[in-house]
Chain A
Amino acid sequence: MAHIPPRKPGKKALRYGVPVAVAGVAAVTVGLVPALADTGDPELPEVTAEELVAKMAESKTDQLTGTVKVDTDLGLPSIPGMAGGGGGEEHGGMFGGGGEQAEERGDTKGGPSESPGGAPRQKLMELASGEHTLRVAADGPEKQRVSIVEDTAEYSFIHNGKDLWTYDSASDSASHTELPEKAAKGGQHEKMPDLTPQKAAKKALAAVDDTTSVSVDGTAKVADRDAYQLVIKPKADAKSTVESVRIAVDAENGTPLKFTLMPRGGGEPAVDIGYTDVDFQQPDADQFDFQPPEGTDVTREKLGAKAPELEEKFQDKFKGEGKELRSGLDGLNVLGEGWDSVVEVELPKNALGGLVSGGRSDAPQIGKLLDGFTDEVKGDFGTGRVIESELVNALITEDGKVYAGAVTKDGLVDAAEEAAK
């Protein structure tokens, strides 16, 4: 057999060095480039917190196109009864998931209201956990669109005048809502998802009162723009589980670019919403035109008298700051002020299904399971169980009341005792 040695033997190591070097360079580039780009916070003229808040409030940005990264880690277990008619396949959504709900879901699933194009609420629930990418575009108060970017699919909300469309490309279905005259002109409508840094910042500012400290903490670069960092903190004696809220405000036009909520327990941000890319030019007009493709399932709905119900549907999920929660929702009270506010909900009679007294029912293993992820507490309100998470805690009492809020367990018990008096 012929034996053919290489023409230039003896440089084996050198040759293998090439792929190793290329791999090394690639790894270093991937690792270092973001780090290098991160350094050097922009130098900007000093501003006071008041000036910055005023700048943010005055901000008149209503034309923009951008990409928003939403990263939420509320670590929420499910709260029965709150899920309502939530259907099938949300992946550990805010109030989805969780074994004790299986039965309830089974009931609703078969129903005719599996709302193909709709289920926008379900989509929003999905946003409440994990990492998501949104693309937003806005052109004045009458035209906005928000698209949830998914693998090989997209879920879009398109608001144009009095039309509000949702289009789900995964199931090729759409829903159309005709908005009442006032809402159409009134800018950002309730039904549009609230998950832009602007909305989140507005809510955080609404919660500012004398239990809060507001300060400016340096500058940052967000989505390639210079920004001031505004830090909002509950004062030390507060029972809030929120450590701080950090808002990056565009130095030029005062638009909030990034919103970060740190839980008191430390670690990863519980909510992190920020533009990764933003452009304040007028977006393409045809982005706001939606014609349902032929053959697409379209659910139609006219909005009028049903407004409160819808408001309930699209209520903001950041309970701690959500002052709007005071309006709308039936059977829902907000106790306390500012950061310590707690929501009280009365559940339908059968919703609990022996959850609280589960330990004493004829299925002892359920009780054990419950003990695994809840704590039993006693007080003026009777016996209850506390479900704890990073940010939001909930107390469910025997008589079917749920207290929930971004407050510590003690704060929750105090609020419940206060309410029971």
Chain B
Amino acid sequence: MSRADTTSADDAREPVPGTAPPAEAGATTTQPEAGPAGQGGSLGRGLSLFRSELSITFRRWRTLALLAVLLGVPVVVGIAVKIETSDGGSVGGGGGGGEGPAFIAQITNNGLFLVFTALAVTLPFFLPMTVGVVAGDAVAGEAASGTLRYLLVAPAGRTRLLCVKYATTLVFCLAATLTVALSALVTGALLFPVGEVTLLSGTTVSFGEGLLRAFAIAVVVAASLVGLAALGLFISTLTNSGVTAMAATVGLLITVQILDTIPQLDVMHPALFPHYWLSFGDLLRDPVYWDQLVRNLGLQGVYAVVFGSAAWARLTSRDVTA
């Protein structure tokens, strides 16, 4: 169904060189892995596959709906804060220290903080959920709609297909994060004053540097989703049902998030992929506190390699029947 719900899916597939109509399986399996073209050719083929994959993913209604939800969250948060503070009060009655989402108290003074609040609000669930949907559907969706074998009989190669799928998912991670950040930035700038930014440590930096830090934070948040994307991709190679893969990925996300809050399990917490997610806030300290940030990125890298290679092992060694 994933392929079928885009009317333009078949057109988008068209430019891929070598996407021949379904041929007999036996004929293609004897082809050498790299295909007749040289290294540059295979890279070019990978790129054009990547481009077509991107346009399919981002033209899908489901993707657009997910992005629309992400677009809406900062607007809702911004309006809520505006209404609550319109009588001159502060969020949470003041002095609440730690009530409500992170950074929410600073929004009224500087709209830029809406970016950080929005990311903190969406990071635990909304953002990873959308990534889980896209990653879970990546391979299983093709299998479900019967298009996976067309992709495989083309000399695209399974490894390259997987790389392209993963790259597309990563682009979606970044796009989703930037959607939240930009929507929050516009909402924040419209509803609240913007100007010099007071960092968490109390030092003040120019608005330009604040913007730069906000951008860095968006990139870090996107990078925080890299591990989950690999996990979703792996699950996606296990099943032929896109819905199953999406549900399993999102379910796993929720389970891990719950495990991360149980204090008795703190031994395993540093190995859970969402554990350091909120470390993006450390970029707002002066000087930046790198410890947790580095751990987060390292952990995401390990997840990406482990589950990326597991997905590769699964996809390259299984029989594709659909």
A and B interact physically = yes
Q: Name A's B-contacting residues (CB within 8 A).
A: 1-9, 11-12, 15-19, 22-23, 26, 67, 89, 114-116, 119, 135, 147, 149-154, 156, 158, 165, 167-174, 284, 286-287, 289-291, 293-297
Residue of B nearest to A137 (CB): B287
Report the 8 A-B pairs with minimum CB-CB distance, sorted nearest first.
Answer: A116-B95, A152-B102, A152-B281, A15-B313, A19-B310, A293-B198, A167-B202, A295-B109
- Selected from A6, A26, A116, A151, the residue in CB contact (under 8 A) with B316 is A6
A37 CB → nearest B CB, Å: 15
- Selected from B105, B120, B289, B314, the residue in CB contact (under 8 A) with A135 is B289
Measured between alpha carbons, how far is A3 from B153 in the docked complex, in Å? Answer: 11
With a 10 A CB-CB cut-off, give which of A7, A18, A174 has the most chain B CB atoms: A7
Report B-chain residues with C-beta under 8 Å of the C-beta of A284. Answer: 287
Besides A22-B302, A89-B97, A170-B98, 10 more A-B contacts (Cβ < 8 Å) are A4-B28, A6-B318, A9-B317, A18-B309, A26-B302, A26-B306, A170-B97, A293-B109, A293-B204, A297-B95
Q: Please tell me if the beta carbons of A89 and B316 are within 8 angstroms of each other in the complex.
A: no
Q: Please tell me if the beta carbons of B22 and A287 are within 8 angstroms of each other in the complex.
A: no
Contacting residues of chain B (279-322) with chain A, CB-CB under 8 angstroms: 281-282, 285-287, 289, 291, 302, 305-307, 309-310, 312-314, 316-322
Measured between alpha carbons, how far is A287 from B291 in the docked complex, in Å? Answer: 20
A75 CB → nearest B CB, Å: 16
Q: Please tell me if the beta carbons of A171 and B97 are within 8 angstroms of each other in the complex.
A: yes
Q: Please tell me if the beta carbons of B109 and A153 are within 8 angstroms of each other in the complex.
A: no
Measured between alpha carbons, how far is A154 from B291 in the docked complex, in Å? Answer: 15
With contact pairs A152-B281, A172-B105 given, residues A6 and B319 touching in the complex (Cβ less than 8 Å): yes
Q: Give 12 CB contacts A-B under 8 Å.
A: A6-B317, A8-B316, A16-B313, A19-B307, A116-B95, A147-B201, A152-B281, A156-B201, A171-B94, A173-B105, A287-B286, A290-B203
Q: Please tell me if the beta carbons of A151 and B278 are within 8 angstroms of each other in the complex.
A: yes
A120 CB → nearest B CB, Å: 12
Residue of A nearest to B286 (CB): A287
A154 CB → nearest B CB, Å: 4
Q: Please tell me if the beta carbons of B200 and A169 are within 8 angstroms of each other in the complex.
A: yes
Interface residues on B, range: 35 or more
Q: Please tell me if the beta carbons of A170 and B313 are within 8 angstroms of each other in the complex.
A: no
Whether a CB of chain A sits under 8 angstroms from the CB of B152 is: yes
Q: Please tell me if the beta carbons of B149 and A169 are within 8 angstroms of each other in the complex.
A: no
B109-124 near A? 1/0 per residue, CB < 8 Å: 1100000100010000
Measured between alpha carbons, how far is A135 from B287 in the docked complex, in Å? Answer: 10
Residue of A nearest to B29 (CB): A7
B8 CB → nearest A CB, Å: 24
Residue of B nearest to A150 (CB): B98
A-B contact count (CB 8 A): 161
A30 CB → nearest B CB, Å: 8
Whether a CB of chain A sits under 8 angstroms from the CB of B48 is: no
Q: Name B's A-contacting residues (CB within 8 A).
A: 22, 24-25, 28-29, 33, 90, 92, 94-98, 102-103, 105-106, 108-110, 116, 120, 149, 152-153, 158, 193, 195-196, 198, 200-204, 278, 281-282, 285-287, 289, 291, 302, 305-307, 309-310, 312-314, 316-322
Report A-chain residues with C-beta under 8 Å of the C-beta of B193. Answer: 294
- Selected from B29, B92, B109, B320, the residue in CB contact (under 8 A) with A296 is B109
A73 CB → nearest B CB, Å: 14
Q: Please tell me if the beta carbons of A2 and B306 are within 8 angstroms of each other in the complex.
A: no
Q: Please tell me if the beta carbons of A289 and B313 are within 8 angstroms of each other in the complex.
A: no
Residue of A nearest to B305 (CB): A22
Residue of A nearest to B110 (CB): A293
Measured between alpha carbons, how far is A158 from B198 in the docked complex, in Å? Answer: 14
Measured between alpha carbons, how far is A114 from B158 in the docked complex, in Å? Answer: 63
A110 CB → nearest B CB, Å: 12
Report A-chain residues with C-beta under 8 Å of the C-beta of B282. Answer: 149
Measured between alpha carbons, how far is A18 from B234 in the docked complex, in Å? Answer: 14
With a 10 A CB-CB cut-off, give which of A22, A172, A287, A289 has the most chain B CB atoms: A172
A19 CB → nearest B CB, Å: 4
Report A-chain residues with C-beta under 8 Å of the C-beta of B90. Answer: 172, 297
Report A-chain residues with C-beta under 8 Å of the C-beta of B103. Answer: 152
Q: Please tell me if the beta carbons of B310 and A16 are within 8 angstroms of each other in the complex.
A: yes
Residue of B nearest to A157 (CB): B202
A88 CB → nearest B CB, Å: 9
Report A-chain residues with C-beta under 8 Å of the C-beta of B307. Answer: 19
Measured between alpha carbons, how far is A141 from B203 in the docked complex, in Å? Answer: 20
With a 10 A CB-CB cut-off, give which of A18, A154, A173, A290 has the most chain B CB atoms: A154
- Selected from B102, B313, B322, the residue in CB contact (under 8 A) with A19 is B313
Report A-chain residues with C-beta under 8 Å of the C-beta of B318. Answer: 6
